[in-house]
Amino acid sequence: MIAEGIHNPNRTLSEDVVKVWTINEIIGNSIGFLVLGVLFYLDHRFLWWEWIGWLLLAVVIISIITAIWDVFIHPKLKYKHWRYEIDEEYLKLRHGAINETHQLVPMSKIQSVATKQGPLLRRYQLYALTIETMGSSHQIPALVKEEAFQLRDEIARFAKVTEEGE
């Protein structure tokens, strides 16, 4: 329990978000390794100073360790620790395995709420829900379609958000 009458969030994201985050990390790390490969080729082709080759090797070793974390460990940890909840007064978000963040957004401060879906989310029929306030933006990263739209409408009703032109 956070405070009197305010409970910790307990709703979870779709399990498919682990696949989405993993694929996203594989793509990002692949681009990084491609750049390192080009730099190794240029080092070999143009006979750069020897210390540059050693520096590139150190960067590759660190990148491999980071890639193992990014692809195999971090997405599962992120999913395990991501929680959200809404009620008539607050949007409650909790996330982070190492640095845990608790966010409590009053419904009265919410100005807009939207769903969005990129190519990876579309592949798994997931939607991200973006909630905007005057000074910040909050996101629930992966919800199934029905839940995303139902939650969007519920938040809009609680926050009294109206369509443009009304």
| Domain range list for the chain | 17-79, 85-159
pLDDT recorded at residue 3: 54
pLDDT of residue 1: 43
Entry pTM: 0.86
Which amino acid makes up residue 101? Answer: T
The HSE-up count of residue 37 (CA atoms within 13 Å, CB side) is 6
DSSP 89: S
Task: Tell me what pLDDT residue 111 has.
Answer: 94
Q: Where are the beta strands (DSSP E) in the chain?
A: 83-86, 90-95, 101-106, 110-116, 126-133, 137-144
Which CATH number does 85-159 carry? 2.30.29.30
- What averages of pLDDT result for each successive group of 10 residues across the chain (166 residues)? 69 97 98 96 91 94 98 97 95 94 94 96 97 95 97 93 53
Q: Specify the pLDDT at position 117.
A: 97
pLDDT at 160: 85
